[in-house]
Amino acid sequence: MTINVTPHLVQLTYEAALKSFWRRRALEKFLRQVRISDRHLATWSQDEVKREFLDRTFAALQKSPSSNAVISNMAQALAEQISFPDLENWEDSVVKMQAAKKAVKDLKEYLNAQKVSAEAAREREAIKEVAREQAQALQRARGTLSELGDRLALLTSKQGTQSGGYEYEAWFYDLINFFELEHRRPYVAAGRQIDGSLTIDGTTYLIELKFTEKPSGGPDIDIFRGKVESKADNTMGVFVSMAGFSSVAIQDASGKKSTLLLLDASHIYLILSGGMTCSEVIRRIRRHASQTGESYLPVAGFGGA
């Protein structure tokens, strides 16, 4: 423990040293153990009483900041005392020991209070450090999300083109990578093109990406549902259409035990704004689908249950 050498601590240490030792030899031995120099101890004349010598000693120690370590050692050693052999076998030993125990108790309580205060300060600093790290991480995240947003904005002129679709696909998985989600990039299974997959909370979602100018319609839903339902029972689908969905598409995707979740540009921009993470958006829409059977939940409806 690092001891803060305050004037009050010095006074408590002085009192504890004064009252814990009665014989000159015992006090000298203690002072030597806590690193008071032999040179200084040699200045203790035979006619100088204990209190006068301690007055000189503490006055000298307080003149030099480098002596704080000596005062700390002395305070710690005095506070650790559980017996007072130098105060035994005196006519007034009981009185002497009572005074010594009180002085040591006061010193110990002050040191313990310092320890508690220091621990609380460390805890506060640790909390501040975590907050700083989180703020820095958030700032970095916002910077990266901003960059992803800028890249998406540049792609809008290519929306509806084949090259734009490929670039959007690469962009989308950069977004998934940013959130460190378990995923697989586009692949072919049983002759069918799969735009990729991601896994959240133990559920695997096949991905369908549309970067078209027109909203996705019912036929798009039917094709994607066929891909999803040909996989294992725990498989679901996330259909991301930047142009949104027709009312028929939303109706066809919804229903009892629907396996599809629908996201449009508003959901993507919510993620890019830092308002919610990718997994949080998907969880929110899935909860809505479980509660209502509706595969699509607009961002405006996210404030509900």
Task: Write the DSSP string, 5-25.
Answer: --HHHHHHHHHHHHHH--SHH
**Res 92 pLDDT > 60:** yes
Tokens representing 188 are: 């072919």
Backbone angles phi and psi of 207, in degrees to 5? -110, 135
Task: Give the separation between CA 290 and CA 284, rounded to whole angstroms.
Answer: 10
**Res 169 pLDDT > 60:** yes
Task: Give the separation between CA 193 and CA 208, rounded to whole angstroms.
Answer: 10
What residues contact 91, with CB distance under 8 A and at least 6 apart?
none
| pLDDT at position 140 | 56
**Res 143 pLDDT > 60:** no
DSSP state letter for 83: -
Q: What is the pLDDT of residues 5-56, one digit of tens each?
A: 899 999 999 999 999 999 999 999 999 999 999 999 999 999 999 999 999 9
Tokens representing 72 are: 């700390």
| pLDDT at position 14 | 95
Average pLDDT for residues 72-77, to the nearest whole number? 94
Backbone angles phi and psi of 89, in degrees to 5? 65, 30
Average pLDDT for residues 278-282, to the nearest whole number? 95
**Res 259 pLDDT > 60:** yes
What residues contact 162, with CB distance under 8 A and at least 6 apart?
none
Average pLDDT for residues 83-91, to the nearest whole number? 93
**Res 135 pLDDT > 80:** no
Q: Which residue has the higher pLDDT, 142 or 275?
A: 275
Task: Give the separation between CA 7 and CA 185, rounded to whole angstroms.
Answer: 68
| pLDDT at position 1 | 63
CB 73 within 8 A of CB 35: yes
| pLDDT at position 136 | 65
Q: Against a cut of 0.75, is the pTM above it?
A: no
What residues contact 17, with CB distance under 8 A and at least 6 apart?
27, 30, 31, 54, 74, 78
Give the chain's mean pLDDT: 91
DSSP state letter for 204: E
Task: Give the separation between CA 200 and CA 119, rounded to whole angstroms.
Answer: 39
- How many CA atoms lie within 13 Å of 251's alpha carbon, on the beta-carbon side? 4
**Res 305 pLDDT > 60:** no
Q: What is the pLDDT of residues 186-215, one digit of tens each?
A: 998 878 889 999 999 999 999 999 999 999
**Res 139 pLDDT > 70:** no
Q: How confident is the model at residue 261 (pLDDT cuts 50, 70, 90)?
A: very high
117-3-6 Cα angle (round to 5):
85
Residues counted in the chain: 305
Q: How confident is the model at residue 141 (pLDDT cuts 50, 70, 90)?
A: low
**Res 137 pLDDT > 70:** no
Sort strands 197-200 and 182-184 into parallel, antiparallel or unpaired. antiparallel
Domain locations in the chain as residue ranges: 7-119, 159-301
Backbone angles phi and psi of 294, in degrees to 5? -95, 125
CB 153 within 8 A of CB 140: no
| pLDDT at position 281 | 97
Q: Where are the beta strands (DSSP E) in 147-241?
A: 182-184, 187-189, 192-194, 197-200, 203-210, 236-241
| pLDDT at position 2 | 76
Average pLDDT for residues 258-262, to the nearest whole number? 94
Using DSSP's 3-state secondary structure scheme, residue 46 falls into coil
CATH 3.40.1350.10 applies to domain 159-301: yes
- How many CA atoms lie within 13 Å of 200's alpha carbon, on the beta-carbon side? 22
